[in-house]
Amino acid sequence: MNILQMQRPTILKFFSQSYFNRSLSSLSNKLQAATTKPNVVRTSPHEENPRILITGSLGQLGTGLAKALRQKYGLDNVIMSDILKPTKDIFESGPYVYADILDFKNLQELIVSHRIDWVIHFSALLSAVGEFNIPLAMRVNIEGLHNVLELSKQYKLKLFVPSTIGAFGPTSPRNPTPDLTIQRPQTIYGVSKVHAELMGEYYRHKFGLDFRCLRFPGIISSDTNPGGGTTDYAVEIFHEALRVGHYKCYLRPDTRLPMMYIEDCLKSILKILEVPNEQLKLGTYNVTAMSFTPEELAEAIRKHIPNFEIEYEPDSRQTIADTWPMVFDDSNARNHWGWSHDNNLDDLVSIMLNALQPIYAKNE
């Protein structure tokens, strides 16, 4: 048996009895190497299911992703976390823990005690709410990212961080917007997301961190509400169409923005998490499904609700939307790792109305 294969007490006995006449420094070096080696050999995610922590999991994207990941990797392997109190349904659906993204020590403890392999980092303040509390947005979006980056490096975790169309600005080409181009966003949300992209890619090159990042368009879902972004109108409009047949839109009728149905968003995350690292030629990829304006969305809704009316009263979110991509070029994601979406505008409208109709029918 060589010294590296011995248990710690045997090594100590071996050392103290000086069975062999070796130099103290050479032996103590080996001893240090042997005792600092982890006792448990970590099997790769291919041999057993990864253990996954989702931060900010009670938002628009987190609940659906937790469900999808639990189906794929096992219920107990996906730990939801947030600073919010979960509903009874969420609490009873699988592991849920409190985790403030600003509390490094608490995150560290969670990663260690739950044997986490992957982190999905969703905690953030979105574009519209971020402008109303810039100091908090800076802390959550930037300091929070630093915490997960550093812990992912220390514990050799795979880290997924979503970025956004909001990471571009008025000097970026807007139709279409490619992956690599000028990025000079004019919101704290956008600035923090460019920072996240660059820091993640830096850690990837510098430390070999398995960092993966997708830039999402506005995400549209029926079972979760959006968290204060510029694209929220594309969810609200369905609720109002069914509730009162009328919607007052805070964007101009011709404001074109990239969008995606939540199932396609979740599909893209599941896919990017599984792509072999060597296949990823970029650290950050655009993904999208469609682009439409409020007027085009209203027209598509009228195919189902002919009397639906929309009026326009632009507010500060218009200024943000005017600086964002109108059409997103996601050809690299399609070519490099086979990204494809399933739902276009007409699919989206049918799915949303069918999903929400029973709720408003009940209230009639």
- CB closer to ligand THR out of 141 and 231: 231
164-199: string of b/e by CB count within 10 Å (b at 16+)? Answer: bbbbbbeebebebbebeeebebbbbbbbbbbbbbeb
- CB closer to ligand NAD out of 31 and 341: 341
Give the Cα separation of 236 and 188 in Å (integer).
24
Q: Which does 55 bind (CB under 5 to 8 A by kind): ligand THR, ligand NAD, none?
A: ligand NAD
Helical residues (DSSP H) of the chain, grouped into ranges? 8-17, 24-36, 62-73, 88-93, 104-113, 127-132, 134-138, 144-154, 188-207, 233-243, 262-274, 294-302, 316-321, 331-337, 345-362
Q: Taking a C-beta distance cutoff of 8 angstroms, is the pair 94, 78 a contact?
A: yes
Instruction: Tell me 363's DSSP state.
Output: T
Binding part of the chain for ligand NAD, among 148-156, 178-186, 226-234, 273-281 by CB under 6 A, reads 226-234
CB atoms within 10 A of CB 27: 16
176 prior amide bond cis, ω within 30: yes
- Quick check: 130 binds ligand NAD (CB under 6 A)? no
Binding part of the chain for ligand NAD, among 99-107, 178-186, 237-245, 285-293 by CB under 6 A, reads 99-107
- CB closer to ligand THR out of 122 and 189: 189
Is 96 designated active site?
A: no
CB of 249 to ligand THR, least distance (A): 14
Site string for ligand NAD, 43-82 (x = CB under 6 A): ------------xx-xxxxx-------------------x
Q: Which does 337 bind (CB under 5 to 8 A by kind): ligand NAD, ligand THR, none?
A: none
> What residues line the site for ligand THR (CB under 6 A)?
126-127, 164-166, 189, 218, 226, 229-231
Give the Cα separation of 176 and 203 in Å (integer).
29
Nearest-CA neighbor of 158 among 308, 280, 304?
280
Which of 95, 173, 178, 227 lies at the binding interface for ligand NAD (CB under 6 A)?
227
Residues forming the active site: 189
Binding residues for ligand NAD, rule: CB under 6 A, are 55-56, 58-62, 82-84, 100-102, 122-124, 126, 140, 162, 164, 216, 218-219, 226-227, 229, 231
